[in-house]
Amino acid sequence: MDNLRLYNVVVLMLNCVTGSVVDPLKCHDFFGVRNLVTVEDLFRSRVHLGHKSTVRDPHMVPFVFGSRLGIDILDLEQTVPLLGDALNFLAHIAFRGGVILFVSRHIQTVPLVERTALECGEYAFCSVWRNGTFTNSSLKFGAVTRLPDTVVFTSTLNNVFETHEAVIEAAKMSIPSVGVVDSSCDPRLVTYPIPGNDDTPCAIDFYCRVFKEAVLRGKAKAKELQSLSLEQNK
């Protein structure tokens, strides 16, 4: 099994190379972010705890492992690869200098979300969403406005039952999104849905830590390759 893993790693590395140039888009894990997440980490952070089974969204059924005492338990075996995909995507956006917007309306975790955006040099919006911010930005702001390259939702809900308006507007404007979807959420409009607990502070803290790490690794890799290119051209 160890030899097979080594073989798979070598194949993935070779697939990253086009001629003599490394192509990040052809690498399965160019930034090494997929190994940031394990089932044990998610379990300790209570990511598996969903909402009451009575408020389960029917589109979340494939991600529900079961229920206990009336509470949905989310399948962490599915969350791990989906979160890995989301982290890899965020790292690629950061690597290419894209604008990342963190969005949340969960009052208890707003300071954490805003601090995460600040620490990785990106943006956060945790106030009441104004309709048309994405879909009618030129009229709203009186000028041509650059929209974010991706939006990260630590919760895709605006309140207990309503989907956040920014989720809908991002989908309308073809802005890719990363979003934590609890058992009561509709995952269909989120580009990279992450099945998980969306309101427990320790779970949000875990998401923010790995999101920040993915963004910082993407930016660090961009600087590393830029420095290497400058040295080669001397």
Its sign, for the CA torsion 162, 166, 167, 171, is positive
Q: What is the mean pLDDT of the chain?
A: 90
Residue pLDDT, tens place only, 63-74: 999 999 999 999
Q: What is the pLDDT of residues 174-198, one digit of tens each?
A: 999 999 999 999 999 999 999 999 9
Fold of domain 34-232? Rossmann fold (3.40.50)
Tell whether the model's pLDDT for residue 8 goes beyond 60: no
Helices (H), 96-200: 110-119, 137-141, 165-172
Q: What is the pLDDT of residue 1?
A: 43
Q: Which two tokens stand for residue 67?
A: 């229920």
Q: Which residue has the higher pLDDT, 35 or 231?
A: 35
Residue 7 has pLDDT above 80, yes or no: no
pLDDT tier at 81 (50, 70, 90 boundaries)?
A: very high
* Percent over 90 (pLDDT), the chain: 76
Q: Is the pLDDT of residue 117 over 60?
A: yes
Residues 6+ apart with CB under 8 A from 231: none
* Most confident listed range (3-12, 94-103, 156-165): 94-103
